[in-house]
Amino acid sequence: MKGKRNTFDKKIYAGWLAAPGLLIYILIFVIPTFASFYFSMTRWNLKTAEFTGLTNFITFFTMSNTRAALINTAVYAFFTCLVKVVLGLLLAQYLCGRVRSRGYLKTMYFLPTLLGNVAVAIAFESILSQGGLLNQFLANFGVEPVKWITGSKYAMLSCILVDIWKGIGTALVIYVAGISAIPTTYFEAAAIDGSTPTQSFFKITLPLMVPTINTVLTLSLIGGLRTYELVYAMTGGGPGYSTELLGSVIYKLFSRGSYGLATAGYVIMFVIVAVIVFPINSFVAKREADL
């Protein structure tokens, strides 16, 4: 009887410990999420809210720049996520080996993640402009000035590369922590059996890194689908709609006072992220359980 009472007391104690965190989660995430769904169906300002049903969603999808923004967001998220997941893992594997100055290299790769998006955008805008440092360097080899961010041909590619440069450090740090957590006895046993470094990577490192890869994949994909600051500060969504992202469309709606329409855009973004990320996350988690 006494043992059951102690167990009951421990459950109550654990519940009270979880209560503050649960309350904060409800206040910061649950309530604003449901409030956003409501306000997305209204024409609202800071004082009043007029219910309009699905009008905001219909208007949002019929806007001239929405289709371009959806396509650009998908392309941007796919390529930034793919490169961060794959290249980040390869760099982490390289830096976890016997490399001179690997601590210095890790710092150099991670340093850009500490910089603000706007600061990075301003710096690369001056580098990639038509009269910028990159074109001045290429001119020494007889190359004509390239419209890296002012022409629709290379603008999105330039933004993707800048995002990768800035964000790959986060993936690298997560991967390095995951590789460092793998017991060295696995690799020592594999070496005794005659396994090459490449074979050890595919047979040991890669399977044991599935949870870490899932983490990097989820963070990179969500970040790619939600981002807009870096691209908007570099190009403003132009030229034309060539670099218009879903986030920048929503930002422009908020800035001009179309709060209900912008909230509907945020709800659409939330649904898109959930529909894409959750199935991928579940699939990878199942593969992890099968290993």
- Is residue 1's pLDDT more than 90? no
CA distances from 187 to 63, 131, 204, 212 (A): 56, 51, 8, 19
Burial 138-170 (b: 16+ CB within 10 A, else e): eeeeeeeebbbbbeeebbbebbbbbbbebbbbb
- The predicted-structure confidence for 152-198, as pLDDT tens digits, reads as follows 889 999 999 999 999 999 999 999 989 988 888 888 888 888 888 88
- The predicted-structure confidence for 230-243, as pLDDT tens digits, reads as follows 999 999 888 889 99
Q: Is the peptide bond before 207 cis (omega within 30 degrees of 0)?
A: no
Q: What's the average model confidence in pLDDT over 3-31?
A: 72
CA distances from 44 to 138, 170, 257 (A): 51, 38, 9
Mean pLDDT of the chain: 86
- Is residue 78's pLDDT more than 80? yes
pLDDT confidence tier of residue 14, bands split at 50, 70 and 90: low
pLDDT at 6: 55
Q: What's the average model confidence in pLDDT over 76-88?
A: 94
pLDDT at 95: 86
- Is residue 10's pLDDT more than 80? no
